[in-house]
């Protein structure tokens, strides 16, 4: 688990380093367009920076950056937004309120949508939609030092990240068709990683992560089709790892308390795993090779 979380942190750090750029005094907006029927709109108060590059047709980019809604303040916000659209029919919307927030959106395939809202200080968001069509990424971050990375390669994948608090990290990597990933984290020092890949076709997988508290870690890895994995964690120092390879598998993990660990590994089809842990210092490990297996674990104090 810790190895996977290190991977998340490394991915977040790398993406943020590519999204950030130098800031100068006063608001600064640059737009470069090469193509037809592209639309841009930039609204900034204070000391903000916006960069928009559009090479293609029918793209739209909207940026709003402010220190305090509606007017500039004595202490400039220094928010950064960078949008690059190099295909057709993409939409990117960035709304940043506060100080030192960074957003990077890179769309190199067609008909994708990316929507970023950040409110607070030093929140970072990176969205890359590199091939395929019809992908959608939504990021909402409220607080300080929250980081989100979404990378989508494929078609009709959706990713939603909602982080509220302090120093939460989320990484979503999707390749394939029709995958859905949802992350909801509130508190501080929570980390979530979701990887949905196309090794077995990679379509219609669903991953849901909900974490409340601090120092919760969750990692979900899905390779295959029609898998459904869900993690809900409330408390402190909880770990959950789900690795699913195959078809039509379902894993549900719900933990509440301190020091709980859950690990599920599935190779096969039509397997179902349910883990519920409430209390202190619990461990649950499930490893399944085969088809049609059902496992249920319920542990209390």
Tell me the Cα Rg of the chain.
Answer: 20
Q: Please give the structure tokens belonging to residue 184.
A: 């909801």
DSSP letters, 254-290, are EEEEES-EEEEEEEEES-EEEEEEEEES-EEEEEEEE
pLDDT for 4 equals 55
pLDDT for 200 equals 44
pLDDT for 47 equals 86
**Domain ranges within the chain, ordered by starting residue:** 2-225
Contact 216, 233 (CB under 8 A): yes
Q: Which residue has the tokens 């190895």?
A: 3
| First and final C-alpha spacing in the chain | 23
Cα separation of 92 and 95, whole Å?
A: 10
DSSP-assigned beta bridge partners for residue 261? 239, 283
The residues, ordered by sequence, that sit 6+ positions from 13 with a Cβ below 8 Å of its Cβ are: none
Cα separation of 290 and 271, whole Å?
A: 8
Contact 262, 253 (CB under 8 A): yes
Contact 192, 214 (CB under 8 A): no
Cα separation of 26 and 281, whole Å?
A: 53
pLDDT for 7 equals 52
Contact 170, 192 (CB under 8 A): yes
The residues, ordered by sequence, that sit 6+ positions from 182 with a Cβ below 8 Å of its Cβ are: 159, 160, 207, 208, 209
Closest alpha carbon to 150 in 122, 164, 129, 178:
129
> Model-level pTM?
0.90
Closest alpha carbon to 103 in 84, 75, 76, 90:
84
Cα separation of 113 and 58, whole Å?
A: 13
Q: Give me the average pLDDT of each 10-residue run along the chain (301 residues).
A: 51 52 66 96 91 97 80 64 97 96 97 97 96 95 97 95 97 95 95 82 89 91 94 86 94 88 94 91 91 91 64
Closest alpha carbon to 246 in 273, 209, 229, 271:
271
Cα separation of 226 and 207, whole Å?
A: 10
Q: State the alpha helices, DSSP H only, in the chain.
A: 2-19
Q: Which residue has the tokens 């979503």?
A: 172
Opening angle at CA 176, ends 173 and 179, nearest 5:
70
């Amino acid at each position: 688990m810790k190895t996977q979380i290190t991977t998340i942190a490394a991915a977040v750090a790398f993406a943020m380093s590519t999204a950030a750029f130098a800031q100068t005094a006063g608001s600064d907006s640059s737009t470069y367009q090469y193509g037809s029927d592209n639309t841009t709109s930039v609204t900034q108060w204070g000391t903000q920076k916006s960069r928009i590059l559009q090479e293609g047709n029918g793209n739209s980019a909207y940026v709003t950056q402010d220190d305090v809604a509606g007017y500039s303040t004595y202490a400039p916000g220094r928010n950064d937004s960078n949008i690059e659209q190099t295909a057709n029919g993409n939409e990117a919307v960035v709304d940043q309120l506060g100080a030192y927030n960074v957003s990077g959106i890179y769309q190199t395939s067609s008909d994708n949508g990316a929507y970023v809202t950040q409110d607070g200080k030093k929140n970072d968001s990176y969205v890359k939609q590199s091939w395929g069509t019809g992908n959608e990424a939504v990021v909402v971050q409220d607080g300080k030092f929250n980081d989100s990375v979404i990378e989508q390669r494929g078609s009709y994948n959706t990713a939603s990240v909602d982080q509220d608090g302090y120093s939460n990290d989320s990484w979503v990597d999707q390749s394939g068709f029709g995958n859905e990933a949802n992350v909801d984290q509130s508190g501080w020092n929570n980390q979530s990683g979701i990887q949905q890949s196309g090794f077995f076709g990679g379509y219609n997988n669903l991953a849901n992560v909900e974490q409340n508290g601090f120092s919760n870690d969750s990692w979900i890895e899905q390779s295959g089709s029609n898998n459904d994995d869900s993690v809900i964690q409330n408390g402190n120092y909880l770990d959950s790892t789900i690795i699913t390879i195959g078809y039509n598998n379902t894993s549900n993990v719900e933990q509440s308390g301190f020091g709980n660990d859950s690990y599920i590994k599935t190779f096969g089809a039509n397997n179902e795993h349910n883990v519920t842990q409430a209390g202190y210092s619990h461990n649950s490990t499930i490893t399944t090779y085969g088809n049609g297996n059902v496992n249920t674990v319920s542990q209390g104090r």
